[in-house]
């Protein structure tokens, strides 16, 4: 595994295992994306509701890197699903990004609307389609209705929040898993156990957590607007966590979410 390593999705597409996440990046977004691309990232994860697709698009253009070398994900917001504006929403995202297609389009929170996404994939507006924040029960319901199994489920996953049941279900159904807030929005970095393991490997806490996720076969989307951290968060391929350390981090799970549970959200 190295920073160019890609995982194969169930539709045949491949995706780099490390992405730059831009949730809560705000005015730092363009610079962060440019910095990431300069430092070897080839996967950027945004969403309509982050209101920074334009900055992401400008950075991609300014980087000079060919479009087909960068994997771009965006997401369909809840209001657009509910009002049946799925197609219009993707068109708007593409306009904001300045792109003809995205690589992956996700339903941001559990909702109907997936069948419309299947059409958008056929039209070539998105190469792959998937979901986000779906728990096992949402996926079971979805799979009973769809023609195309989602390629990805992007869920909150970090040392204090692991939904093993959903991850296992995704594995069984060949749905790739991506971790949003892999660092627990920063909350996991000061955990004494993580710091102890970081000392052992002479790595930062962030690197230990990100490497732990990669070794579990999970794609990571760390967010940072700082160059040193952006570099650090993809510098994960010159060490391997021993199984006993993977297990120690597994034991930190508290099922503690930083946002509402996907079964009980009101936005």
Active site (catalytic) residues: 50
- State the Cα–Cα distance between residues 150 and 30, nearest whole angstrom: 29
Backbone angles phi, psi at 238, to 5 degrees: -115, 20
Count of CA atoms in the C-beta half-sphere (13 A) of 228 = 1
Q: Do the Cβ atoms of 185 and 159 come closer than 8 Å?
A: no
**From the CB of 114, what's the least distance to ligand A2P, in Å?**
26
User: Closer to ligand A2P at the Cβ: 153 or 224?
Assistant: 224
Count of CA atoms in the C-beta half-sphere (13 A) of 72 = 32
**From the CB of 21, what's the least distance to ligand A2P, in Å?**
5
Would you tell me which residues interact with ligand A2P (CB under 6 A)?
Answer: 21, 181-186, 189, 204, 206, 222-226, 229, 232-233
User: Closer to ligand A2P at the Cβ: 176 or 222?
Assistant: 222
User: Closer to ligand A2P at the Cβ: 126 or 224?
Assistant: 224
**Structure tokens belonging to residue 76:** 């369909």
User: Closer to ligand A2P at the Cβ: 99 or 220?
Assistant: 220
Q: How far is CA 3 from CA 9, 14, 126, 178, 183, in A?
A: 18, 14, 24, 16, 19
- State the Cα–Cα distance between residues 225 and 43, nearest whole angstrom: 15
Backbone angles phi, psi at 131, to 5 degrees: -135, 170
**From the CB of 197, what's the least distance to ligand A2P, in Å?**
15
**From the CB of 155, what's the least distance to ligand A2P, in Å?**
13
């Amino acid at each position: 595994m190295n920073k160019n390593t890609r995982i194969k999705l169930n539709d045949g597409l491949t995706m780099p295992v490390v992405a730059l996440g831009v949730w809560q990046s705000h005015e730092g977004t363009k610079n962060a994306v440019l910095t990431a691309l300069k430092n070897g990232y080839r996967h950027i994860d945004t969403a309509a509701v982050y209101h920074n697709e334009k900055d992401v698009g400008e950075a991609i253009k300014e980087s000079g890197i060919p479009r087909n070398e960068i994997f771009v994900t965006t997401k369909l917001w809840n209001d657009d699903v509910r009002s049946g504006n799925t197609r219009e929403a993707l068109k708007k995202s593409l306009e904001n990004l300045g792109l003809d297609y995205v690589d992956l389009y996700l339903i941001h929170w559990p909702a109907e609307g997936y069948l419309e996404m299947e059409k958008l994939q056929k039209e070539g507006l998105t190469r792959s389609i998937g979901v986000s924040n779906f728990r096992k029960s949402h996926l079971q319901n979805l799979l009973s209705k769809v023609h195309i199994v989602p390629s990805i489920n992007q869920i909150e996953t970090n040392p204090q929040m692991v939904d093993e049941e959903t991850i296992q279900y995704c594995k069984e159904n060949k749905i790739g898993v991506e971790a949003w807030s892999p660092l627990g929005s920063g909350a996991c970095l000061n955990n004494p156990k993580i710091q102890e393991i970081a000392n052992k490997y002479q790595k930062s806490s962030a690197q230990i957590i990100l490497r732990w996720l990669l070794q579990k076969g999970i794609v990571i989307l760390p967010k940072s607007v700082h160059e040193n951290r952006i570099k650090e968060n993809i510098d994960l391929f010159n060490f391997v966590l021993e199984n006993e350390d993977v297990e120690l981090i597994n034991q930190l799970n508290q099922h503690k979410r930083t946002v509402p549970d996907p079964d009980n959200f009101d936005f």
